[in-house]
Structure 1
Amino acid sequence: LEQLVAGHERARRIDVDYASHGPHVEAIREELLTALSGIAPQAAAVPFHSTVTGSSIDTTGLDAAYWYTNLRQPVRFAEAVTGLLGQGLGAFVEISAHPVLVVGVGECIERGEGSAVALGTLRRDEGGTERFMRALAEAWTHGVPVDWRRAFPADARTVQLPTYAFQRRRYWLAGSGATAGDAAGLGLADAGHPLLGAAVAVADGGGHVLTGRLSLRTHPWLADHAVAGTVLLPGTAFVELAVRAGDEAGCGRLDELTLHEPLLLGPQDAVALQVVVGGADDRERRSVDVYSRPDGAPAEQPWVRHASGTLAGSACGTGAADWAVCDWPPAGAERIELDGHYPRLAETGYAYGPAFQGLIAAWRRGDELFATVRLDGEQRDGASRYALHPALLDAALHAVLLDDDADRVDGVRLPFSWSGVTVAAGGAATARVRIARSEGDAVSIWLADDAGRPVASVESLALRPVTEDRLRAAGRVGEDLYRGVWGPVVVAGGELVGRWAVVGASVDASWGALGLVWRGLGEVGAADVVVAVCGGGSAAEVVAWVLGLVQ
């Protein structure tokens, strides 16, 4: 396990007491064949695709010898899924008490050709009818036919959706944020990430560029991260972007990441993202920078650099593997009452919505803080697509705010500098968190899963106060105060309407040649243009700079 983690593979130990799919099974071969000798396999009405053979087989052959082989030989899971994809299947539904294969199927889909979706049914602690009906709805919205007559009582009937009067509230689920289009056809690779659309390796220098597009329409959950009355991309999202870029470049550790400018998201705004990874130096370290600018901005508009840092080729140093906990809460830790915690945060400027209210329990032991954090709803369902979901890591930081002074006047505190970030197991939807003070006001953070196994760690995180004025100024970074805009000019019946000023030509000679009647403010010189536009008597509505007209 340690070698896999050191090699940047996502792996975790399975809690079983026997070694399947290996030579150890041969010791119980005769015992298994005897125990299973009474099996009488039957022909199946539904095609059966075996992970023993990797292909479709006749179920009448599922005898004792088959099941022994199933336990002894390697599992040809990816081969079976790829074969089904090749037959044009568009949906895979895992029927189990908790979806553990959906992630593996999804990875096979990403590597294969064509498009498909992987879905679950029940979940751990969610095994009732409501969860199953929700799974049916998810399948139906992905194009899987559902016989709703069998899902509801016989007297159930369909109804029309209610009308509404301009509230602009959608009935349908918001999009996943995935970028439409064929990235491969554009010479790019699909980034396979909710915040990024495409990735490309730079031909000269061994660097990488990952691109994406963000808005509150495509990623509505980000609207729940409002600070000082402003919606901004959480600092944990910049960490996620850098970690994903590190995966692309073969770097398993984010050595450092400094945030320079907040990325504000307005209700109608959309921004283009670029995550740029530089070439490797002699120590296999690479630079990483995160940029944005308004989507559709002209080519000459500069990009804003929001974060910069360094990626390392291996997960060395103090990392997540150095902390694991099975006893929870830890011995000697005293519970912290969280009633009213998020309303109190809102009073101090942290207006977190449901997607970011993931802190559900906290304890203190000396200078250490412990917490349980959890994603709910759509964020929980989509956690497997992230290395470490930004809302989950952000919820861990909310425990740090328990020690903040409610009367502080220097602004809210936001992540500023991250050091030594490693992810041991991706896709977590819940986590146990330990927070310890490091140098100055910085903290170290460790996250583990429900079984105490390492998920991620941050060697050092420094937070810095940010005022409302600073956030408002950040929203103007890269924007022009004024822009030139071409508009229509009204000419009614050969007569110039409005207050005009002419620069650089004779009124009578120029306008008379066009058959237009001049009723403007008169002829002005070039030095008077500012006066003509901004005031100094009757301000001009239109200034015409005439280079010359020939009669």
Structure 2
Amino acid sequence: GVGVLLVERLSDAERLGHRVLAVVRGSAVNQDGASNGLTAPNGPSQQRVIRQALANSGLSAAEVDAVEAHGTGTTLGDPIEAQALLATYGQDRDRPLWLGSVKSNIGHTQAAAGVAGVIKMVMALRHGVLPKTLHVDEPSPHVDWSAGAVELLAEPLQWDRHDRPRRAAVSSFGVSGTNAHIVLEEPPLAEVEAEPVGEPVGEPVGEAPVAWVVSGRSAEALRAQAGRLADAVAGVRPVDVAHSLVVSRSVFDHRAVVVGAGRDELVAGLRELAGGVASGVVQGVAGGGGKSVFVFPGQGSQWLGMGVELLECSSVFAARMAECEAALSWFVDWSLTGVLRGEDGQPGYDRVDVVQPVLWAVMVSLAEVWRSLGVVPAAVVGHSQGEIAAAVVAGALSLVDGARVVALRSQAIVALAGRGGMASVALGSAEAGVLLERWDGRLSVAAVNGPAATVVSGDVDAIEELLAHCEGLGTRAKRIDVDYASHSAHVESIGEELARLLAPVVPREAEVAWYSTVRREWLSGFEVDAAYWFENVRRTVWLEPSVGALVEQGFGVFVEVSAHPVLTMAVQETAERAGREVTVCGTLRRDDGGLARLWSSAAELWVGGVDVDWPQTYAGTRPQIIDLPTYAFQHQ
């Protein structure tokens, strides 16, 4: 036979939130020494090992309720063991000692016999019932049962506590003459609070959302597993379920994640998943994953209230935002968090010299949140001003230099206001280039985002003419809400000013690979001096070919790190055009910027095969491992 027991120091188990099934109160081992032979037990040695185990436990014999006997069922061994128990446990007690043996149920498991006895008594402690010993028609006539208060468990017995913890002992005697005796006690009734998992996430408004992760080897098993779980979680804390699913269950390829702020919402999601109509549940089949890329967009992902909820409920986000605010304070006269919260006297997002620094800080801070969840980029890529955040996250710029570039450059861009405009056109770069020839340099390609997504910039009147012309052609075109023309000849007028303002920038070697959408090549980090940041705002943004190059080089996961996804569709279309399957996800969404959205975004990665450090989603709590349904096998 085989048996496995996990033994841990009680204080460690309580601190780590592990479920304690029973406590080893004490134990002892001795040897018969010279004896009558291998098959002849030694009664005095058995008495000595029992008394030593009780002494080591700090207990009297009367404080133990039951003994799981070695009980081999032999006419020689059983009477000797019974007499040893009568002499030790059977004396000076008000209630009888109850005696049984699991060998009547499963036979002799040889070296695993003692483990089987321990498992039986742990189960008895948990259920509060002493099980009957099978096949006991009458007590052995070879034992003087009147010599002590010991009775056989001929029937199941309700196990009461009697104003103290329930306790049982287990004997195991080896054929070589080694005797072992262990005293078990039920776990403390008042559980010690487990140590918090990670740093506190903060104090979210209402009940904190948690993620329940479920997986199976097939779609049918996944649905069945969800149904089992939904039936088994009444009366338990959602965070305990989340923790137990993460640390005590295997992970298979068919995956789903239910995110909710309370048990009812979570169970409803499980029921939908079990029924095959889970519209609000993130699910999928894990693919090859691949290396991860953080994608940082340019202007356009902003919305009133972005980041505010995370400031309150994510300590990681709040800490990084505080660092960004300190870095920006050298270059701006407004408060970063004040702008985010919409405080009186603070400027709004209608100013380019406000919205760009705020977006930079939000992106840099969200990248830190992703890292805390175990999602670490193998590369970064940025779109227009998003390259400033990419440079900081890659380590090519210090936080202060990143703040310097985004703040001072956006202040210089104010001089371009009112002179130009930008528009998105549903054309590829080549088609757009041909179309723009008729404007003879008054318009230029500002950004190539996807196979049919190009941004054009230039003179105000030329933008108006372009929009009208596209309407006549039936080509989808839309004005972008800016009054300046980045990535066009207009930027030349601030070139000298930018060179002066950004001269103190000291680029460094990048710690994370960085693919430039300006130069369409990998950068070491040392290139991104003042001249590069002029180039970044003057030249075309080549997002599509950059993403294409990354896909070809084996990058299969693209995470848009922003307050609202603006590039995910373009990235997905580029990968599809290349015939590659990739995982693409955003981070937050407009008017949906809290932990629930963040966990759902993490879920999109996890179901695609990306490892996520799920315990960080309930950091600061004290979860316990609880019993959950076993795997829903699909029988054939």
Q: What is the TM-score with the length of structure 1 in the denominator?
A: 0.28
Structure ranking higher in helix proportion: 2
Higher Cα Rg, which structure: 2
- Compare relative contact order (CA 8 Å, sep 6+) and give the higher one, 1 or 2: 2
